Amino acid sequence: MPRIAENGISGLNFGSRFPIFDGLMKARVTVMPKKSVLDPQGVAVRDAIAHHGFPQVSAVRIGKVMEIEIDDAGPDAEARLHEICADLLSNPVIEDYVLQIEG
């Protein structure tokens, strides 16, 4: 079962609840606009869906998903992934990220 941490809040101190495994690690990062940020691309897609005969769709949010494989992941791999998510893969001012890790 994957471990899920949003924006590093619970991802840096898992203790014994989520052990970090040496070896291959797979991570999936989902980046989405914050709820408080207007998503013009999502609005355009929602309007296009309504135009195609499905007006019941009330909201669409457009984001991105990245799958990352790490060879020889050490004990600090998860913390380093959170740094990369916050510094490189997302813009923390307007986006939230969810990090899912499979050992």
How many residues are present in the chain?
A: 103
**Which tokens hold the place of 5?**
């941490």
CA distance 54 to 87: 38
User: CA 103, CA 101: separation in Å to the nearest integer?
Assistant: 6
Contact in structure between 90 and 97 (CB atoms under 8 Å) = yes
Domains of the chain, start order = 3-102 (3.30.1280.10)
CA dist 7 and 18 (Å) reads: 17
2-45 residue pLDDT tens = 555 555 443 433 333 344 445 688 999 999 999 999 999 999 99
- Tens digit of pLDDT for each residue in 58-102? 999 999 999 999 998 888 999 999 999 999 999 999 999 999 998
Q: Collapse the DSSP code of 53 into the 3-class scheme (helix H, G, I; strand E, B; otherwise coil) and give the result.
A: coil
